[in-house]
Amino acid sequence: MTERADAATVEKASRPAPRPLGTGYRAPWSDRIAEAVIRGLALVSVLSIALIFVFIAKEAIPLFFEPEAQQEFGGLAALFSPRTWPGYDASVFIWQPVGGTPKMNLVPLFVGTLKITVLGMLFSVPLAVLAAIFVSQYATRRAREVLKPALELMASIPSVVLGFFALMVLASLMQDTLGLPSRLNALVAAVGLAIAIAPVVFTVSEDALSSVPRELAAAALALGARKHQVVLRIVLPAALPGIAAGAILGFGRAIGETMIVLMASGNAAVVELFDPTSSARTVTATIASELGEVTPGDAHWRVLFLLGSLLFVVTFVLNRLAVWVVEALQRRWTAGASR
Amino acid sequence: MIRPLPLLVAVVSLVFASACSGGHRSRARAGAEGGAVQAGERVSVKGSDTMVVLAQQLAERYMQTHPGTGLEVSGGGSGTGIAALLNRTTDIADASRPLNARERGQLPAAVETRVALDALAVYVHHTNRLPSVTMAQLALVFRGRITNWSELGGEDRPIVLYSRENNSGTYAYFKEHVLGGNDFAAAAQTLPGTAAVIHAVAHDRNGIGYGGIGFGTGVRTVPVATEDGAPVAPTLENATSGLYPLSRFLCMVTREPPTGATRAFLDWVVSPEGQAVVTPAGFYPMP
């Protein structure tokens, strides 16, 4: 639901904000206390986000200043560059953090995360946007009243349930029908992920499409445009900022999703960007499955926190990007319109 | 217009509720660390996923005969259990491997109580007719050097590897004793628990995995041969005689020599009464 709220505030951001109602007079003391409490709670939520980041970064940062911790996995460069490890014939990216020589190369995890996330987006965004167009533009009122809540209800399915579904049902089904070499792979995880993020993208897109002023469509129809012309050339462009925001928020959710990929992707840290049928290990799944075991303070622990910090930064940047894209698109499509 | 009073009441009651439950919890913990055996004693057991079924069955039987003690059993992996022991969130850690040097350094007084003997089995799909595999072949397969069943004398199919997460004692044991400390192939899928490995192999004609013998239903276990010897099936006689190359002791670890309810439980586990539970759980009693 926060995604939805974000999009709504974004759409209103361009207008100058009027003074909040009910602030022009001296409120009774009970109201003022309540206001202070609520303001405090709001501050707490902002502060806690900042503190969470500080805490995670605090555990990761010593990695850059402790030579002995760096030595454990062969120096900072070993986190990002391939290396010919003892026992290997060629220079490779390897994530095997436990063993005689810990190998903590982050590239396989980034590749896995990117692969599953992009695949999940490829499945979910077109479907979600088409569903949003249908529900907002074509569906009868009765169909809409059933479809919209049903699709939004999908957003509340716990991801562990989706992961279980992907693991038990989807994996066998897809291996049998597509003849995949292994049961659990990036494709299965991406389909599971798509089910999780499609409702997010749908909800935001549908809101954007429904809030396009009816006058625009009415005017186009009056000028002789067909229904599909109205939808494709009037309503869709006008709602594009909202749809883009939905897609970016969906991406943020997908990159942070843990349970589905943990259960359905097979978690093999292979560096194979373009083969969807191979297994993949994501950053989130790695943190979830390894953090419980590591000794607090050692190099493996710090690298996992580094991964967490990177994930935090990426999702934060994506959220800002969503706001920025929406504003930029809005300026473009409303250029020349009277304010 | 928001009415402040109900909100205030809700917030205040929430704060109180959490404060109360917190206090209750810490009192319970204090009781558990007290030491002497008394009514309502709680002992927590955490660690190896391989041992979680065994530990649960031991706990159930123990609580039936010793109603004064409550046992809480959870899994998570040997490393997780030992880490919990380290930060004092568990009384007993289940471990399917001995403590490594670093853990030994952090827990100098730790005591390992051997509670059962386990044989690691190599699983394949039930249609796979592979007669046996040598330790050397097994190492090459899991290092990713042998990638097709035909190289082991089977059909021309790719081999799909199923391994465990790196917090697993089974993973550590297999890496050290089979792979000689070398890495698993990057393509080896890592699954959270032996049951997940069994499930995956049972559904994959190309699959091969490893795990405790106690779980081997729905899959075929392959006899393992040492360099010179004949293939040995993972059975009780072969494991206890030391003939089967992949057997290990399962341990329950405490921070220091056990006392109180913890000691009473561990003494019972190694007694004939406790060892009687081991075989039904799929492991072998201590020889």
CA distance A159 to chain B (A): 17
Model confidence band, residue B215 (pLDDT cutoffs 50, 70, 90) = low
In chain B, whose CA is at the least distance from the CA of A28?
Answer: B4
Instruction: Give the up-direction half-sphere exposure of residue A283: CA atoms within 13 A in the CB hemisphere.
Output: 24
Q: How far apart are the C-alpha atoms of A219 and A114, rounded to whole Å?
A: 43
3-state secondary structure A145-207: HHHHHHHHHHCCCCHHHHHHHHHHHHHHHHHHHHCCCCCCCHHHHHHHHHHHHHHHHHHHHHH
Identify the three-state secondary structure at position B63.
Answer: helix
Residue B216 has a pLDDT of 66
Tell me which DSSP letter residue A280 carries: B
* Mutate: best of A37, A98, A286, partner B, most B CBs <10 A: A98
The predicted model gives B164-189 an average pLDDT of 86
Model confidence band, residue A124 (pLDDT cutoffs 50, 70, 90) = very high
The 10s digit of each residue's pLDDT in A180-205 is 888 888 999 999 999 999 999 999 99
Identify the three-state secondary structure at position B225.
Answer: strand
Phi/psi of residue A278, each to 5°? -85, 165
Cα A323 to Cα A1, A14, A71, A248, B156: the distances in Å are 16, 11, 41, 9, 54
Question: Which amino acid does the sequence have at A45?
Answer: S
Q: What is the ipTM of this complex?
A: 0.75
* Mutate: best of B183, B184, B208, partner A, most A CBs <10 A: B183
- Can you list the domains of chain A with their CATH numbers? 70-333 (1.10.3720.10)
The residues that bridge with A266 in the sheet, in sequence order, are A280
Model confidence band, residue B59 (pLDDT cutoffs 50, 70, 90) = very high
Name the helix (H) or strand (E) containing B253: strand B247-254
Cα A54 to Cα A248, A309, A328, B2, B21: the distances in Å are 25, 9, 31, 34, 28
Instruction: Give the up-direction half-sphere exposure of residue A118: CA atoms within 13 A in the CB hemisphere.
Output: 11
The predicted model gives A107-116 an average pLDDT of 93
Least confident of A141-150, A312-321, B28-37, B45-54: B28-37
Domains B40-116+248-278 and B118-247 belong to one CATH topology: yes
Residue B281 has a pLDDT of 80
Tell me which DSSP letter residue A232 carries: I
The predicted model gives B210-215 an average pLDDT of 78
The 10s digit of each residue's pLDDT in A259-289 is 999 999 988 888 888 888 888 999 999 999 8
Q: How far apart are the C-alpha atoms of A164 and B85, rounded to whole Å?
A: 31
Q: How far apart are the C-alpha atoms of A133 and A74, rounded to whole Å?
A: 53
The share of chain B scoring above pLDDT 70, in percent, equals 85
Residue B103 has a pLDDT of 86
Top mean-pLDDT range of A13-17, A174-178, A194-198, B256-260 = A194-198
Checking if the pLDDT of B31 tops 50, the result is no
Contacts with B5 from chain A: Cβ below 8 Å: 30, 34
The per-residue DSSP string of A284-303 comes to: HHHHHHHTTTSPTTSHHHHH
Q: Higher pLDDT residue, A14 or B175? A: B175
Contact B83, A293 (CB under 8 A): yes
Residue A11 has a pLDDT of 52
The partner residue sitting opposite A34, judged by closest CB among B8, B158, B188, is B8
Q: How far apart are the C-alpha atoms of B64 and B142, rounded to whole Å?
A: 43
Checking if the pLDDT of B14 tops 80, the result is no
In chain A, whose CA is at the least distance from the CA of B5?
Answer: A34
Looking up tokens 């390897």 gives A94
Sequence-distant (6+) residues with CB within 8 A of B267 are: none
Phi-psi label, residue A34: left if phi above 0, alpha if psi -120 to 50, beta otherwise = alpha
The predicted model gives B89-96 an average pLDDT of 91
The predicted model gives B175-193 an average pLDDT of 87
Q: Higher pLDDT residue, B168 or B219? A: B219
Q: Higher pLDDT residue, A140 or B3? A: A140
Model confidence band, residue B265 (pLDDT cutoffs 50, 70, 90) = very high
Checking if the pLDDT of B17 tops 50, the result is no
Checking if the pLDDT of B22 tops 60, the result is no
Q: Higher pLDDT residue, A15 or B68? A: B68
In 3D, which of B75, B81, B85, B284 has the Cα closest to residue B193? B75
The four Cα atoms A107, A108, A114, A120 give a dihedral, to 10 degrees, of: -170
The predicted model gives A282-300 an average pLDDT of 85
Considering just the CA atoms, what is the radius of gyration of chain A in Å? 24
B265 burial type by CB count under 10 A (0-12 exposed, 13-18 middle, 19+ buried): buried
Q: Higher pLDDT residue, A71 or A11? A: A71
Residue B25 has a pLDDT of 35
C-alpha dihedral sign at A187, A189, A194, A195: positive
Residue B16 has a pLDDT of 41
The 10s digit of each residue's pLDDT in A59-106 is 999 888 888 777 777 778 888 888 888 777 788 888 888 877 788 889
Phi/psi of residue B88, each to 5°? 60, 30
Model confidence band, residue B39 (pLDDT cutoffs 50, 70, 90) = low
Phi/psi of residue B255, each to 5°? -60, -40
Contacts with B192 from chain A: Cβ below 8 Å: 262, 289
Mark yes or no for CB contact A94/B183 under 8 Å. yes
Mean residue pLDDT of chain A comes to 86
The share of chain A scoring above pLDDT 70, in percent, equals 92
Residue A299 has a pLDDT of 86
pTM: 0.73
Phi/psi of residue B121, each to 5°? -105, 150
Q: Which two tokens stand for residue B267?
A: 């003494």
Contact A62, A69 (CB under 8 A): yes
The residues that bridge with B69 in the sheet, in sequence order, are B41
In chain B, whose CA is at the least distance from the CA of A86?
Answer: B182
Residue A338 has a pLDDT of 41
What are the structural domain ranges in chain B? Answer: 40-116+248-278, 118-247
Mark yes or no for CB contact A34/B7 under 8 Å. yes
In 3D, which of B105, B117, B70 has the Cα closest to residue B234? B117
- Give, in words, the CATH class of B40-116+248-278: alpha beta
Q: How far apart are the C-alpha atoms of A109 and A97, rounded to whole Å?
A: 12
The 10s digit of each residue's pLDDT in B103-147 is 888 889 999 999 998 888 899 999 988 888 999 999 999 999 999
For domain B118-247, the CATH architecture is 3-Layer(aba) Sandwich (3.40)
Residue A146 has a pLDDT of 94
Q: Higher pLDDT residue, B233 or A339? A: B233
